[in-house]
Amino acid sequence: MQVLFYIVGYLSVALVCVLITFYGERKLAAFIQDRLGPMVAGKYGWLQAIADVLKLFQKEEVLHTGIIKPWFQMAPVIVFVAVFAGLAMLPIAPGIIPIESSVGIYFLLAIVSLDVLGIVLAGWGSNSKFSVFGAMRGASQLVSYEIPIGICVLAMVLQVGSLNLAEVSSAQGTGGNQYLFGLQHLGISTANIGGIVNWNIIQYPFSIVLFVVFYIATLAECNRAPFDLPEGESELVSGFHTEYSGFRFALFFLAEYTMMFLLSAVAVVLFLGAGHTPFPNIGSFELAYYTGGTPGTIWHTLLGLFWMLSKTLILTNLQVVIRWTYPRLRADQLVTLCWKYLIPIALAGLLVSALWKVL
């Protein structure tokens, strides 16, 4: 029963956040392009996302005669399951995590990387040159950008001392042995202050660079502009899902936005304090109590959920702003950015992290 509760609850939260992000993308894109966006379905068009999803689920699935049917039909399911399985390791609120594992972040990165298999199967099974080109681009892109993501995660895990995402989250709250900027010998403890001063991005100043590298790499991992070469509408029609329609296209659609939510949530857990309030507990500054709650209470859990989702949705909507601000990179520029810049910077950050831990 508990497992069923977690499955239904996590899927509901993820789908609601996906719909909010989709609606936000439509409205932000309209604002950037000086137009109104959806205005008919619901007040200010807030029902437009639900209407689009329902429309996709009701559409007829068209299968052309040249497809390799088992691969074609299996690919979106693999992508969808791989992305949603990653949610199992995500501490969505204090004390709420479906599977607490000592290697949680390792499992999350491993299971999410399986979506590469689904993308390759989608391109090959479609038996279309546009789809194959998109799938090959997607595979090379995802495999490349998983390296800086993994290095950034490793650098932060080295500081916290755990692969368990629940422990990474709790280490950024009150209690523990936090010392501002790692200055243990000066006794500048922040253990009972809480708030933003206990977040990893403040505790370890070099992690600001790691956060930027991680965030850029997640854009490529989500196939989001300016790294949307696998879809490349101007040259590949729609890339690896050109031949898809109806329900299976909707699975790709939901998986992409869920991947945005998932990787943004991982960034929040690793760098931005997870579900902890940004307000520190200093003297009689009681706002921290009301915005963080007393640990172990339902109020604390609900506030933790609020802060976790708020930070996550800010990062996902920032991805939307980036999409409608920067032009798409060429394939050679994309590979150059990863191998010549992001990976060396991430490795330098890992070295600094190791020296910081030792010294």
What average pLDDT does the segment 82-87 reach?
86
141-193 residue pLDDT tens: 888 898 999 999 999 999 888 888 888 888 887 655 566 666 555 556 666 67
pLDDT digits (tens, 9 = 90+) for 90-100: 888 877 777 77
Q: How many other CB atoms are there within 10 angstroms of residue 218's CB atom?
A: 24
Rounded to an integer, the average pLDDT of 189-201 is 76
**Inter-residue contact 79 to 252 (CB < 8 Å):** yes
Query: In the predicted model, what is the mean pLDDT of residues 265-278?
Result: 90
226 cis-preceded (ω within 30 degrees of 0): yes
* Tokens standing for residue 89: 């390791």
Q: What is the DSSP string of 8-41?
A: HHHHHHHHHHHHHHHHHHHHHHHHHTTS----SS
Is the pTM value of this prediction over 0.95? no
Residue 259 structure tokens:
């991947």
Boundaries of every domain in the chain? 59-358
CB 271 within 8 A of CB 214: yes
Residue bearing tokens 């933003």: 196
Give the residue-averaged pLDDT of 273-301. 73
pLDDT of residue 334 exceeding 80, the answer is: yes
Residue from 157, 280, 279, 139 nearest 214 by CA: 157
